[in-house]
Chains A and B, each alone.
Chain A
Amino acid sequence: MHIFPFVVVVYILAAGLYGVVTSRHLVHQIVCLIVVQSSTYVLLLGIGYKTGAVAPYFYDIPVHTPAVDPVVQALALTDVVVEAAVTALLLAIAVQAQKRFGTLDPQELVQLKG
Chain B
Amino acid sequence: MTPGQRRWIFLAGAAGLAAFYLWGLTGLPGFGNYPGPYGDIINRVAVAQTNATGVVSAVNFEYRGFDTLGEEFILFVAATGMAVVLRHLRNERQQDENDPTADWAIPPASDAVRLAALLFAGPVVVMGWFLASHAQTSPSGGFQGGVVLATAFILIYLSGEFLLFRRISPADITDAVEAVGAGGFAAIGISAVAMGLPYLKNFLPRGTVPGAVSSAGTIPLISFFVGVEVAAAFILIVGELVEQTLLVRRGER
A and B touch in the complex (CB under 8 A): yes
A residues near B (Cβ < 8 Å) are: 1-7, 9-11, 13-14, 17-18, 21-22, 43, 46-51, 55-59, 63-64, 67-74, 77-78, 80-82, 84-86, 88-89, 91-93, 95-96, 99-100, 107
CA distance A23 to B83 in the complex (A): 27
- CB contact under 8 A between A81 and B42, given known A47-B34, A57-B138: no
Cα(A100)–Cα(B92), bound, Å: 10
* Interface band, chain B: 35 or more
Bound CA–CA A96/B90 (angstroms): 13
* Interchain CB contact under 8 A, A18 and B10: yes
Asked whether A57 lies within 8 Å of B78 as measured between CB atoms, the reply is no
Q: Does B74 count as interface, using CB distance less than 8 angstroms?
A: yes
- Whether B42 lies near A71 (C-beta < 8 A) is yes
Contact A77 B141 (CB under 8 A): yes
B39 within 8 A of A: yes
Check B143 against A56 for contact (C-beta < 8 Å).
no
Contact A71 B38 (CB under 8 A): yes
In the complex with contacts A81-B230, A86-B78, A22-B31 CB distance below 8 A: no
Cβ–Cβ contact B32 & A9, under 8 A: no
Q: Is B28 an interface residue (CB 8 A)?
A: yes
In the assembled complex, which residues on chain A have CB atoms less than 8 Å from the CB atom of B55?
A: 56-58, 67, 70
CB <8 Å contact, A70 and B143: no
- Whether B43 lies near A78 (C-beta < 8 A) is no
Say whether B56 contacts A77, CB under 8 Å: yes
Known contacts A17-B14, A85-B75, A88-B237; 9 further A-B pairs (Cβ under 8 A): A9-B25, A18-B10, A22-B3, A57-B53, A70-B55, A78-B60, A84-B147, A88-B82, A89-B82
Min CB gap B38→A, angstroms: 6
Interface of B is mostly: helix
Q: Which of A3, A22, A56 sits near B10, CB closer than 8 Å? A: A22
Which A residue's beta carbon lies closest to that of B7?
A22
Q: 30 A-B Cβ contacts within 8 A?
A: A3-B30, A9-B25, A10-B22, A11-B18, A14-B18, A43-B25, A50-B32, A50-B34, A56-B43, A59-B54, A63-B47, A70-B39, A70-B43, A70-B55, A70-B56, A71-B42, A73-B59, A74-B59, A77-B56, A77-B60, A77-B143, A78-B71, A81-B75, A81-B144, A85-B75, A85-B234, A88-B78, A89-B78, A92-B82, A92-B85
The verdict on B167 contacting chain A, using a C-beta distance below 8 Å, is no
Q: Are A14 and B17 CB-contacts (below 8 A) given A82-B75, A89-B78, A95-B244? A: yes
Q: Residues 223-253 of chain B: 1 if any A CB is under 8 Å from the residue's CB, otherwise 0?
A: 0000000100110010011001000000000
Contacts of B194 in A (CB 8 A): none
Q: How far is the CA of A99 from the CA of B74 in the complex (A)?
A: 26
5 closest A-B pairs by CB: A69-B39, A85-B78, A51-B32, A6-B25, A2-B30
Partner of B14, one of A1, A14, A57, A91: A14
Min CB gap B5→A, angstroms: 12
State A102–B17 Cα separation when bound (angstroms): 35
